[in-house]
Amino acid sequence: MIDHAIILAGGFGTRIRELFPNVPKPMIPFHGKPFLHWQMDLLAAHGFQTFTLCVHYMADHIMKYFRDGADLGLTIHYSVEDRPLGTGGAARLAAHHLQKPVLLINGDTFYELNYREFADQHEIGVAKDKRLVSMALAYVDNVSQYGQVDVTETQQVRSFREKTASAPQAGWINGGTYVIEPEVWTFIPPAQAVSIERDTFPALLAAHHVIQGYPSHTRFVDIGTPSGYALAEKMLQGASR
């Protein structure tokens, strides 16, 4: 069973710094606790007990709060970047030695996914189509703000479209949540800044590897903007572990 989650928590939070100038983005407070705490609570409820936090900007702030995770009943490790490595480089640094599939998520996205079902479906699918990645797909009203994911009738990812200035159009986007097989790390050069979205995933498709989409209509919000923060605050209102 996949029970190890890696959270990308090293971002600078430039889009929301006007509201929280001295707080790393994953530590922005919502109703008394940091967003990263909310994320791990949700994942723990779905059976994830071991976490690796990829940290860079204000890393000490995050490490001091969570420590080894024992107070939360979790096991928390840290992968510290001495310089920004992008989503791909950070993920490789944290996971290349594990030799097992892991859940990888962004530390600035609230996504009410059934993470256990998502991970279990990946494990079932590996035997069938030898997928290297399962990618959660979120349905939004305006894909032009995010970039669109094109999929086949069986939900295999076919291609990615970048953000555009076109008229609003509903569709599927990359939800920033993946199950990654260890072979993927061989596509990412060590100690280099790499975007897993713009560099690694297109390279996998070009090499004819399978990225399987996992469509979900559950709530999805990026907390990294003032409007996203306000929406997430309402969504988390009254929630508790």
Place of tokens 């976490």: 51
Q: If DSSP codes are grouped into helix, strand and coil, which group holds residue 52? A: strand
Rounded CA separation 122/46 (Å): 15
Q: 167 pLDDT exceeds 80? A: no
Q: 60 pLDDT exceeds 50? A: yes
Q: Cβ distance 136 to 177 under 8 Å? A: yes
% of the chain at pLDDT higher than 70: 97
* This model's pTM is above 0.85: yes
Residue 165 pLDDT: 63
The per-residue pLDDT of the chain, averaged, comes to: 93
Confidence of residue 241 (pLDDT cuts 50, 70, 90): very low
For the chain, which domains are there? 4-235 (3.90.550.10)
Residue 19 pLDDT: 79
Confidence of residue 152 (pLDDT cuts 50, 70, 90): very high
Q: 205 pLDDT exceeds 60? A: yes
* Average pLDDT of span 125-131: 95
Q: 178 pLDDT exceeds 60? A: yes
pLDDT tens, position by position, 11-59: 877 777 777 788 898 999 999 999 999 999 999 999 999 999 999 999 9
Rounded CA separation 6/54 (Å): 7
Q: Which residues pair with 78 in a beta bridge?
A: 53
* Average pLDDT of span 53-81: 97
Report which of 45, 12, 46, 51 is spatially closest to residue 28, judged by C-alpha positions: 12
Q: Cβ distance 200 to 133 under 8 Å? A: no
Give per-residue burial for 141-153: e unless 16+ CB within 10 Å, then b.
eebbebebbebee
Q: Between helices 35-45 and 59-66, what is the axis angle to 10°?
A: 50
Residue 21 pLDDT: 82
Rounded CA separation 127/14 (Å): 41
* Average pLDDT of span 212-221: 93
Q: Token digits for 155?
A: 């939900």
Q: Cβ distance 194 to 92 under 8 Å? A: yes
Residue 166 pLDDT: 66
% of the chain at pLDDT higher than 90: 76
Q: Which residues pair with 47 in a beta bridge?
A: none
